[in-house]
Structure 1
C-alpha cells in the first residue's frame, strides 16, 4: 500500500508527464480542491472531473509550458505539504511567470480528500496583464 507521501509524489510525477488520469488516480470522488483567490482558476472545485475541467484544462489552454517544479515534500501525518515553484508563459501576453507555491494535501484511507494551494498570485497576475502605454 502506498503511503500518503507516496500518493502525493505520484501525483506530481504524473503531472510532470502530463498524465491527467494518473494525476487523479488517488483523488476522492468528493475531493474539495481549492485554488487560491486571485489565481486564474480560483475557487473550490468538488470532484475530480470539476478539478480537471476548471483547473488543469484551463491552465493547459491559457499557459505555454505551465508546470510545477517540486522542491520538497513534508510528511505531516494526514497532511502532506508540497513546496515548489510554478513556471509558465501566459499565452495571451507571452510573459513568463515564476512563483513559489505551497500545496496542502489532506489524505484519508488512501485518497486525497482536500487540496489547498498557496501562491504569490501577484506574480501570476503580472504575467497575465498586457503592458499599458
Structure 2
C-alpha cells in the first residue's frame, strides 16, 4: 500500500498531467473536499464525482493554463500539507493570477477522506475582475 505522502504526491503528479481519473483514484466516496470561501469553487463537496464536477471542471472551463505548482510536502502522518502556488489566466478578463496556497489533506486507510484549501482569494478575485 502507498504511504499517505505518496498518495498526495501521486495526486499532484496526475494534476500536472491533467489526468482527472488518476487525481481522484484515492479519494474516498465520502471524502469532504473544501474550497475556501471567496474562491471561485467555494464550498464543501462530497465524493470524487462532486469534486470533479464542482471544482476541476469549473477551473478548466473558466481559466486558461490553471495549475498548482507544488513547492513542498509536509508529512504529518494522517495529515499531509502541500504548499505551493496557483497560476492561471481568467478566461473572461484575460488577467493572470498567481496566489500562494496551502492544502491540508487527511488520509485514512489509503484513502483521502478530507481536503481543505487555504489561499489568497483576493488575488484570485482581482484576476476575475471583482474585488
TM-score (normalised: structure 2): 0.98
CA offset at residue 96 of structure 1?
A: 0.1
**Which position in structure 2 is the counterpart of 1:107?**
107
The question of 1:129 aligning with 2:100 is answered: no
Q: 1:62 — aligned with what?
A: 62
Q: Please state if 1:23 is matched with 2:23.
A: yes
Where does the alignment leave 5 or more consecutive residues of structure 2 unmatched?
Answer: none
Residue in 1 that maps onto 2:76:
76
Shift of 1:46: 0.5
The equivalent residue for 1:98 is 98
Looking at structure 2, the residues matched to 27 and 44 of structure 1 have their Cα atoms a distance apart, in angstroms, of: 14
Aligned residue for 1:54, secondary structure, equals helix
Instruction: After superposition, give the CA deviation of every residue in 1:70-103 in whole Å (9 maximum; x if it has no partner).
Output: 0000000110000000000000000000000000
1:114: Cα distance to partner?
0.1
Please report how far the alpha carbon of residue 124 of structure 1 lies from its aligned counterpart in structure 2 after TM superposition. Answer: 0.2
**When the two structures are aligned, how many residues end up with a matched partner?**
130
For 1:61 and 1:86, the matched residues in 2 are separated by 16
1:16 is displaced (CA, Å) by: 0.1
Determine the structure 1 residue equivalent to 2:32. Answer: 32
The alignment partner of 2:40 has SS state of coil
Which stretches of structure 1, 4 residues or longer, exceed 2 Å deviation after superposition? none
How many Å apart are 1:44 and its aligned residue? 0.1
**SS of alignment partner, residue 21 of structure 2:** helix
SS at match of 1:82: strand
- 1:12 deviates by 0.1
TM-score by length of 1: 0.97
